[in-house]
Every structure is written in structure tokens, then in C-alpha cells.
Amino acid sequence: MSVQHYQAKQFKSQAREALADQQLRDNFRGAMDYLQQKRKDAFNDPDELAQLRLHAENIRQRCLAKLPELLEQLERHCEANGIKVHWAEDAAQAQQLIAGLIQQAGGQKVVKGKSMVTEEIALNQHLESLGIECVESDMGEYIVQLAEETPSHIIMPAIHKNKQQVADIFQQHIKDFNYTLSVDKLIQTGREVLRSKFQQADVGISGVNFAVAETGTLCLVENEGNGRMTTTVPPLHIAVTGIEKVVEFLSDVPPLFSILTRSATGQHITTYFNMISGPRRAPERDGPQQVHLVLLDNGRSQAYADEALRKTLQCIRCGACMNHCPVYTRVGGHAYGTTYPGPIGKIISPHLQGLANTSDLVTASSLCGACEEVCPVNIPIPSLLQRLRRDAKLPTEAGQPSLKGQASAASVVEHTAWRAWAWLSTHSAIYNVCTSLVLSLAKFIPIPMGAWTRCRGKPALAEQSFHQAMKQRQQQANKQPISQSADQSSASNKGSN
């Protein structure tokens, strides 16, 4: 099976294709409208929301501030609970590590709960190349897996598809499928297939929403029960997480869980909330015999090293920023060519993939601020985008660590143009001459406007600039007796529009 691969470097052409796909745009618009309304309904008291966000932000910042120490504590407490802990620096190391654990146990069949971090390391493809079957057990993930695609949203992987498209995929891939457009029957069909997969699986792989350092507990948030099946039925459970998911105390979890689910789907709680604290113990009759935790860095420590960029790691993966982003709504998740799409994807992907691959992503925002407005942990996404725009263009300042791909999008022409612009903007006499020249000559010179005029008329420039109008007004005022000056100038300057 070959998954269709989108690349961050191809963002512009991928976005163009997505924009031309009216069905895709309708699917996203409908889904985002729905999710925006759900979130709005879940937070009907703005003061309470502001407090919850501040609380969640404080928890995340406190935990990140002592990340190295908490990770060590997590490792100690997990090991004490019987969870074996492994560290992976990058995707390749994580792939090998996980495949090694499966092979050691003689595993052939894997079921996977929804986990973006395993998408990040392309785990399915790696396991398949080794002849290990890996089935996605989250309904959305299962659909995109059958369609040979990657998720287009971090919470709802198949949100880009409507029921018709899902029915067509099932028709193509599931034996004896009775074609239907009933959502309930479609889900039932998927669940029946997956039920037998759980029973046959040797290994269950899951993500982690919160890893509690204090107790060595792995928390998993889900709605379908597939996460519980994945982590309890097969004899071997491997949990994979980015290093930033660690929290200090068990008491940090409820506030984060509550704001996570409400931000994501408007739910006050999810159907399932799993707390995993080790393999089955002596008299217990169910649960996995072995539990492993893989802690993945893959560029996160680069974000951690810089105080401003560290805020990126506050993310609790609710997807609210993408649900409210006017760009994501129009191009969908695949166009980004990254595991994490949308606004959070634009600020985390440069650390995972480097700025050379992601420099188009960091400019693909009008900086409207909708993402920051809804982020449950107050990540200042627009200012981080501006910072990354700078880092993509310019070399690091002396004494500062540089990012992967720093200055890879440097452009002498652009830099020179901005220097010229700054010079002009600080030399008023020449600035004013230039604006009045443009205004007086615009009529005669066909100014090429390129991308701007593809869908816009040429800007209707004024006859004279405001600078000139004010100068004239002041000259007139000086000639008039003071008491009449306001009226006179008012009459002379009123345009009819």
C-alpha cells in the first residue's frame, strides 16, 4: 500500500489543487462551521473561559519549564509501575525501536489507536515494509487508511470526506459491504471489521494525551472505545508520545482534559478517558502483559531551547486553531503536507522538518489572529509565525542558537527592498515626493499589479494624497480668519465619493 504523499515544500501547488476542488471545500466549510458552533456552545461564559485558559496555560508553562526533570521523573515512576521507557531522538530511531519491540515479541498483527505522533514518524509504512500488518482502529483513521491517505485533521482524520465518499471507499475495500449512505450503518460496518482485528492483534499501539510524571500514568482521551481495546486486548501495548506531553501532577490533568475536549469537539467530557498505569498484575486476568512507552524528540528540543518558541510546545492538540483558521477551512489539511496542519502545524513543523521545507507555511497566514483567539492554552501563534518568518529569511543573531534551516529562504532582493522601504519611510521629504509622483503619474503609467489584479480591480488612487490635502488645508486656514477656517476647509475638501 502506498500512501499518497503531500509535502510541505509543495504547499502552494497543493493549496491550489484543494481550492479547485469544490466538493472538498464544501466538506470543510460544513465541518468547520459545525465545530465552531460546538465550541461556542461549550464555552458560553467568556469570563470562565478566560480563567480556564489562563489556568491551562499556567499548567503547561510550569510543566515545560521543568521538562527535563519531569521526563526523568516520568521515566522513574513508569518503570516502577512496570512500564518500560524508551527514548527516540528522531523518526528513524523511533521506527526502529518500535519495530524491534514488535519483532522481539514475535508480533505480526498490530492495531493502532489514533496517534498523530505515529503519523509523524510514518510508522505504518515502516511496519508494512517489514511485513507487519498495522490496522488503524479509530473510525476516521481507518477510513483514511483504506483510502491510502494521511489524516487531514488531528482530531477528525477523515473530516474532508462526506458519507458518500466513505460509502464508496467501503464498497471498494470491505467484502460483502451492503452499500448504504446511513452513517450509523457505515460506522457499524467499520466496527465489525475492526472487532475481529482487535481479537487477532499481537500488539496495540497508542498515543498519549497526558503523561503524568508524579504517578507514571499515561492518559488517553477518546470517544470510540477503540483506544481501550487497543491498549487492553493485545498482549503487548506500545504507547508513543512527544516529550512535551508530560505534566507534573495528576491534578494537572482534569483542567487540561476539560478544556481540551470542549475546544476540540465541544464535548464536556469524552466517552472514554483511559488512565494506564502498567501491565496486568499477578491476580489480574486481563490487560497487556507488557507496556512500553516511547518518548520522541524529533525536533521538539529545538523549540524547547528558545524561550519564545517553547510556547509552541504548550499545545494540547485540540485542533481548535485549525477549526477556526480561514486558510485551513479553504485548503484543508492535506495541502499543508505536514502531520499537523493548520496554524499549529505552521509553528511546530519548522522544528520537525526544518525551515527549508516549511518556509511557505510560515507565510501562509493573513495573521488574522483567529487561532490565538481560540487556543485553549494561549499560544501566541501569529507572533511565533512572525518570528519564524524572520528566521527563515535571516541568519541567527550572534550568540543565539540557530534553527534547522535558518535563513534557508534568504533573498537578497527582498532584503534590499525592505531596506530601501525603511529608508524611504524614514525620509519624509522623499517619501512625500514619491507618493505624489505615484498619484499624479498613475493615470499614465500602466502599473503591473500581478497577483493583486487577478481578482481585483486596480486600486483607485486619490487625485492628491492626504499629505497634500492637509498642507493645502493648513495654507488656506492661515489665510482665513481663524473663526471661519474649519468651515472653509470642510467645504473645499468634501469629496462627493
Partner 1 sequence: MTQTGLRIYPSKPNKVYFYATCLLDVLDPDGGMAAVELIEREGIEIIWVEKQSCCGQPAYTSGYQDQAKTVALSQIALFPEDHPIVVMSGSCAGMMFKHYPSLFADDPRLHARAQAFSERVYEFSEFLLRVCRATLQDKGEPTSVVLHTSCSGRREMGIHVSSQALLAQLNNVEIKNAAYETECCGFGGSFALRHADISQAMVEDKATHLSQSSAKQLVSADWGCLANINGHLAYRGEAASFQGKHLASFLWQRTADERGEQ
Q: Does 105 bind partner 1 (CB under 8 A)?
A: no
Q: Does 183 bind partner 1 (CB under 8 A)?
A: no
Return the number of other C-beta atoms located less than 10 Å from residue 461's C-beta.
15
Q: Does 38 bind partner 1 (CB under 8 A)?
A: no
Report CA dihedral (340, 346, 348, 354) to the nearest 10 degrees. 110
Interface stretch with partner 1, choices 178-186, 263-271, 276-284, 452-460 (CB under 8 A): 452-460
Q: Are 336 and 322 in contact (CB under 8 A)?
A: no
Return the number of other C-beta atoms located less than 10 Å from residue 209's C-beta.
24
Q: Which is nearer to partner 1, 99 or 439 (CB)?
A: 439
Q: Does 456 bind partner 1 (CB under 8 A)?
A: yes
Residues within window 4-23 making contact with partner 1, judged by CB under 8 A:
12, 15-16, 19
Of positions 370, 377, 379, 384, contacts partner 1 by CB under 8 A: 370
Residues within window 279-338 making contact with partner 1, judged by CB under 8 A:
326-327, 330-331
**Which helix (H) or strand (E) element contains residue 466?**
helix 466-479
Edge to edge, the sheet with strand 272-276 lists 246-247, 210-212, 217-222, 272-276
Of positions 106, 448, 450, 481, contacts partner 1 by CB under 8 A: 450
Interface stretch with partner 1, choices 137-145, 294-302, 312-320, 382-390 (CB under 8 A): 382-390
Write the CB contacts of 420 (distance below 8 Å, at least 6 apart in sequence): none
Of positions 468, 476, 480, 488, contacts partner 1 by CB under 8 A: 468
Residue written as grid cell 511546530: 348
**Closest alpha carbon to 203 in 135, 138, 157, 142:** 135
Of positions 48, 195, 421, 475, contacts partner 1 by CB under 8 A: 421
Sign of the CA dihedral running 184, 187, 193, 195: negative
Closest distance to partner 1 from the beta carbon of 356 (Å): 15
Q: Total residues contacting partner 1 (rule CB under 8 A)?
A: 75
CA-to-CA dists, residue 22 to 11, 19, 25, 160, 330, angstroms: 18, 7, 5, 12, 10
Q: Does 441 bind partner 1 (CB under 8 A)?
A: no
Q: Does 372 bind partner 1 (CB under 8 A)?
A: yes
Question: What is the C-alpha to C-alpha distance for residues 114 and 235, in angstroms, rounded to an integer?
Answer: 19
Closest distance to partner 1 from the beta carbon of 169 (Å): 27
Q: Which is nearer to partner 1, 56 or 238 (CB)?
A: 56
Distance of alpha carbon 355 from the chain centroid: 16
Q: Does 497 bind partner 1 (CB under 8 A)?
A: yes
Residues within window 44-73 making contact with partner 1, judged by CB under 8 A:
46, 50
Closest distance to partner 1 from the beta carbon of 445 (Å): 15
Q: Which is nearer to partner 1, 253 or 384 (CB)?
A: 384
Residues within window 383-412 making contact with partner 1, judged by CB under 8 A:
383, 386, 388-394
Q: Which is nearer to partner 1, 193 or 407 (CB)?
A: 407
Q: Are 473 and 493 in contact (CB under 8 A)?
A: yes
CA angle 267, 272, 277 (to 5 degrees): 130
